[in-house]
Structure 1
C-alpha cells in the first residue's frame, strides 16, 4: 500500500455516521481532511480504500465496479450497525458509488456529492471496451487542483480496463437515478478538467429527491476536497447532516 493511502475510521457519535467514497485511481488521502473535519464534529466516519487502489495501477485493471461497490457497501453496513442515522458522501467516482448506494439502500438519510461522474462527452469513450483489451493504460487524470503545492495521492496512469468498468457503472446508476429520493447536497466546480458539467446537470435533473441543494465551487478544480473550496465543502456538509438529522428526528417524534 502507498504511504498515505490508508483507510480512515473514527468511532464517534452513535446517532450519526458518515461514509466517504473516494474517486477512480485515487485514495482516501483525497478525503482525509474532510473525514477529520467530520470526526472533529463528533460524527462516526468510514473512508475505505477501494479494491485495486493505493497500490499499483495494474491492480486496478484486475478489479471491476462490483468490487468497489462491495467495499463501500460493506463499510455502509458497519456504520448502520453502529449508528442510528447514516449519510454517504462521494467525490467523482465516489459520487457514482454514493448514488448507487442511495438507489439500493433507501434507509440512507442523505447524500453529499462533489463533482460526481455519471457519463463523459469524450468521443474516445465509445471505443473504450475495445481499446482496453489491447492498451492497458493511458496518461493519468489525477491531480486537477487549482491550489498551488497540493498533490493528490493517485496513480500516474489511468488503467483502461478499470475505466471500462466505471463506464458500465455509469449506465447502471443512470438507469435508476429516479429512485434516489434522499436529501441531496451537490457541490460542483465551475471549472473541472476531468468531469464535464453535464454530469452534475444530469444528476440534478434526474434524481427523485425533493430536498436538493446545489452549490457551485468557483475557486476549485476537480479534486475540490483538496482545493481552495474545501472549507466550504466541509462546513456545508456538516450543516446538511445536522439539518437532515433534526428533520428526521422530528418526523419520528
Structure 2
C-alpha cells in the first residue's frame, strides 16, 4: 500500500540511555509528531514514532484494521526501546494517548513516565453507541482532522473517519478506562481548553482515576486538538523534556 509522502515512521538514535516512544492519533500520521521528535532528538534521546497500521495511506485501509493492530505496533516499538535504553518513556496525542495509557497499564514501571496530549478514553457523543450498526451501513463520515488554531498550520490526516475503525477505537476506550487505576507512573498531561475533537473532560477523568502520585496537569489556552502543531507546541516540547530529565534523575537516585 502506497504511503503518503510525509506520513512515514521516523526514528532517531540518541547518545544516552533515554528512549521516547511517540504515538500519533486516529486518522493522523507521524507527521504531527515530527517537530516534537526533532526536539527530543536534539536532547540526545532515542526516539521512535511508528506509523500505525491503516494510517497514512487511505481511509479504506484504516477500516480494515482494529485497535489490536494499532496497539501491537506501538507495543513492538516499546519492546525495541526496552532493549536499547535503560529508561523508556511513552508520549501520545489523542488516540496516541490512549495507546500510551495502554502501554503503561501493561508494562508498569518499565515505562518510566507518560506524557499525554489531549488523550481520549471516552466521548460525550451519543451516536458512538450506534457505531457497530452504522459501520455496517455507512463506511465513513466527514473527518475531524486539522483542528489547529495556528494560522497556516496543517495536519496530514484523512479527510474521512472510517466507521469500522472508529467502532474499534470505542472498544479500546472501554479497555483503557476500566484499568486506569493500575497506572502508577509519573504522568505529564496537557489538554486544550478548546478542543473540537476530544472533549476536555477526558483529561479530567484520567487525572481523577489513575493511581499516580506524580501528576502534572497543564491547560493549553492557545491551541486546539492537534496541539503539537499549534501555538503551545514549544511549551509541550520544553515541559516534556524537563519531565523526562526529572523522572530519569529520580530513578537514578532511587535505592535499589
User: Which residue is 1:175 aligned to?
Assistant: 178
User: Which residue is 2:76 aligned to?
Assistant: 74
TM-superposition CA deviations, 1:158-178 (whole Å, max 9, x none): 000000000000000001000
TM-score w.r.t. the length of structure 2 is 0.98
Does the aligned pair in 1 maintain the 2:16–2:44 contact within 8 Å? no
TM-superposition CA deviations, 1:171-200 (whole Å, max 9, x none): 000010000100000000010000001100
User: Which residue is 2:206 aligned to?
Assistant: 203
In 2, Cα distance between equivalents of 1:218 and 1:13 = 34
In 1, Cα distance between equivalents of 2:16 and 2:103 = 21
TM-superposition CA deviations, 1:115-168 (whole Å, max 9, x none): 000000011111111101110000001000000011100001000000000000
In 2, Cα distance between equivalents of 1:238 and 1:248 = 15
1:105 aligns to what SS in structure 2? Answer: helix
Structure 2 residue runs without a partner (length 5+): none
User: Which residue is 2:193 aligned to?
Assistant: 190
User: Which residue is 1:64 aligned to?
Assistant: 66
User: Which residue is 1:88 aligned to?
Assistant: 90
Shift in Å, 1:8: 1.0
2:92 aligns to what SS in structure 1? Answer: strand
1:142 aligns to what SS in structure 2? Answer: coil
Between the two proteins, the alignment pairs up a number of residues equal to: 253
User: Which residue is 2:107 aligned to?
Assistant: 105
1:154 aligns to what SS in structure 2? Answer: coil
Structure 1 residue runs without a partner (length 5+): none
In 1, Cα distance between equivalents of 2:134 and 2:251 = 48
In 1, Cα distance between equivalents of 2:126 and 2:167 = 14
In 2, Cα distance between equivalents of 1:50 and 1:134 = 25
TM-superposition CA deviations, 1:90-128 (whole Å, max 9, x none): 000000000000000011100000000000001111111
1:117 aligns to what SS in structure 2? Answer: coil
Shift in Å, 1:71: 0.3
Does the aligned pair in 2 maintain the 1:30–1:153 contact within 8 Å? yes
Does the aligned pair in 2 maintain the 1:140–1:158 contact within 8 Å? yes
Does the aligned pair in 2 maintain the 1:5–1:27 contact within 8 Å? yes
User: Which residue is 2:223 aligned to?
Assistant: 220
2:254 aligns to what SS in structure 1? Answer: helix
Does the aligned pair in 2 maintain the 1:13–1:83 contact within 8 Å? no
Does the aligned pair in 2 maintain the 1:14–1:82 contact within 8 Å? no
Name the stretch that deviates more: 13-22 or 215-224.
13-22
2:137 aligns to what SS in structure 1? Answer: coil
Shift in Å, 1:14: 3.9
